[in-house]
Amino acid sequence: MHIYFMGICGTAMGNAALLMRELGHRVSGSDKGVYPPMSDLLRSQGIEIREGYSAEALLRERPDLVVVGNVVSRGHPEMEWLLESRAFPYVSLPELLRTQLLCRRHNIVVAGTHGKTTTSTLAAYLLKSAGKNPGWLIGGVPRDLPTGAHAGEDGAPFVIEGDEYDTAFFDKRSKFIQYLPEILLLNNLEFDHADIFRDLQDVQRTFSHVMRLVPRSGYIVANGDDANIAPLLEAVSWCPIVRVGVGEHCDVRILDFKETPTGSTFKLTWKGREWTTVRWSQSGIFNARNAAMAGTAAALYGNDKNPEWTFPLDALGEFKGVKRRREILIDRPELTAVEDFGHHPTALRLTLEALRERYPQHKLVAAFEPRSNTAVRKIMQEAFTDSLEKADRALIAPVHHASQGAEKMDTEQVAGTLKSRGRDALAAKDNGEILTALIDESKKASRERPLLVVFFSNGAFGGIIQNFIQSLSS
């Protein structure tokens, strides 16, 4: 079958295109602004890519199926022609995955406001290390797996991020509704995606929908410490629930968590019985929970109500993580730099708290780019201010784009509030001002007063991360 992708160079679309190629389909696609590394990776696998969108070119392609990416909206030239001509059938990306791949796999769907990419990578990595030959689709660049996407085999486990964002311009349901979960992980739940959901209850509603898709033979693995998940679990009667967390009511408990100069350690128990002790390079109790959730899903796979709590988790000791998820870019006695994909107040707060504990002697400087459709809105301003207060100094970039009619974050107000609370803060007029401030900070760093810089952005941050690193070697 010839499958054509509209918007093929996005991370999710590109990885899905690679999966379809791995399954033996002919794959081609178009995008606006074709650029590496995804374009190079796709072409290396024999996938044809065309720059720009053209109805005439699509007609010449004559695909059997068109996949409509999330970047496509009304007015798109290929989509408008397709709607009028009905020349070829079209589907959303989640529907493609369900019909061409997930219907033949045992799916572990990782959902939650935070930690989906890390937890999905952990689950796939643990299953692979145990010889279970899983497939996976990761929304990032895993450092412990050979690629971000692998089809695996029919009948094998398949790990996929369960994104609650909407599916396509013609299907406003959450993507994870299409993912056929057999084991559903609910890592945490908060209000996010303010451009899609009205409030927390609206987010809870869509999570309740995916929970109803878990079969009787499946499992819901839930964060037992999350107050927003708890009421959803009360309604579940159709499948077993395994609660994971630090609370005494949890089935899998995280005990004796300790931060160390090189990572962290913690114990896992199953209903009071010791399971394992983990010593690894990742920091923060939130990452310990990610590991416990992933390890629980891996242990449950294939055991049908008789969980094998001897499932080995030794591989966690070698886990390197995911690029741009608290990734250490520079590690010197006088200066450490970290890049994080954080774009939600809770993610910023947890990361800053973990870094503060791991680097107690350092001056902690947070550079934050409000970029996501939620982060740019004023509705999150107070929460972001509270999170940035965890740093000694906050450097706040201009709001990246318009907030689609909603009132946008006032970075000057954020900086002013932080100053009133005794924190140093700068609402920069452009990214260059942040770069200059960071270079000045680096010149003052010393072994006696080391500097820790953490970059928070779900985009390129105007290139200042790379420019900062280059400035240190010049």
- From residue 154, alpha-carbon distances to 101, 107, 150, 157, 158 in Å are 8, 11, 12, 9, 9
> Where do the CATH 3.40.1190.10 domains begin and end in the chain?
101-318
Return averaged pLDDT per consecutive 10 residues of the chain, 474 residues in all.
Answer: 92 91 95 78 90 92 94 93 96 96 96 88 94 89 85 93 90 94 93 76 93 95 95 95 95 93 89 91 88 94 60 88 77 88 81 86 91 77 89 89 68 90 90 90 85 86 84 75
Could you tell me which residues are beta bridge partners of residue 168? 171
Tell me the whole-structure pTM to 2 decimals. Answer: 0.79
**Could you tell me which CATH class the domain 101-318 is placed in?**
alpha beta
Calpha distance 462→397 (Å, rounded) = 10
The 10 Å Cβ neighbour count of residue 43 is: 13
User: Is 264 exposed, middle or buried (CB count within 10 Å of its CB: 0-12, 13-18, 19+)?
Assistant: buried
Whole-number pLDDT of residue 342: 73
Largest CA distance in the chain: 69
Whole-number pLDDT of residue 474: 62
> Where do the CATH 3.90.190.20 domains begin and end in the chain?
327-473
Q: Which CATH fold would you assign to the domain 327-473?
A: Protein-Tyrosine Phosphatase; Chain A (3.90.190)
Whole-number pLDDT of residue 417: 92
Q: Are strands 363-368 and 335-340 parallel, antiparallel or unpaired?
A: unpaired
Residues 6+ apart with CB under 8 A from 436: none
Phi–psi pair at 471, nearest 5 degrees = -65, -25
Rg (CA), the chain: 23
- From residue 413, alpha-carbon distances to 20, 348, 423 in Å are 48, 18, 13
Calpha distance 408→405 (Å, rounded) = 8
Whole-number pLDDT of residue 404: 55
pLDDT in tens, 111-130: 998 888 889 999 999 999 98
| 8 Å CB contact between 10 and 16 | no
Strand, coil or helix: 189: coil
| 8 Å CB contact between 231 and 210 | no
- Using the 8-state DSSP alphabet, how is residue 334 labeled? S
**What CATH number does the domain located at 2-91 have?**
3.40.50.720
List, in sequence order, every beta strand (DSSP E) within 234-304: 241-245, 252-260, 263-270, 273-280
Whole-number pLDDT of residue 193: 67
Calpha distance 206→232 (Å, rounded) = 11
Q: From 135, 249, 254, select the one nearest 241 (Cα to Cα).
A: 249
Distance of CA 463 to the CA centre of its chain: 21
Q: From 408, 398, 387, 396, select the one nearest 345 (Cα to Cα).
A: 387
Could you tell me which residues are beta bridge partners of residue 26? 2
Whole-number pLDDT of residue 279: 93
Calpha distance 325→338 (Å, rounded) = 9
- From residue 216, alpha-carbon distances to 106, 157, 220 in Å are 14, 17, 10
Calpha distance 357→2 (Å, rounded) = 52
Whole-number pLDDT of residue 351: 86
| 8 Å CB contact between 177 and 94 | yes
> Where do the CATH 3.40.50.720 domains begin and end in the chain?
2-91
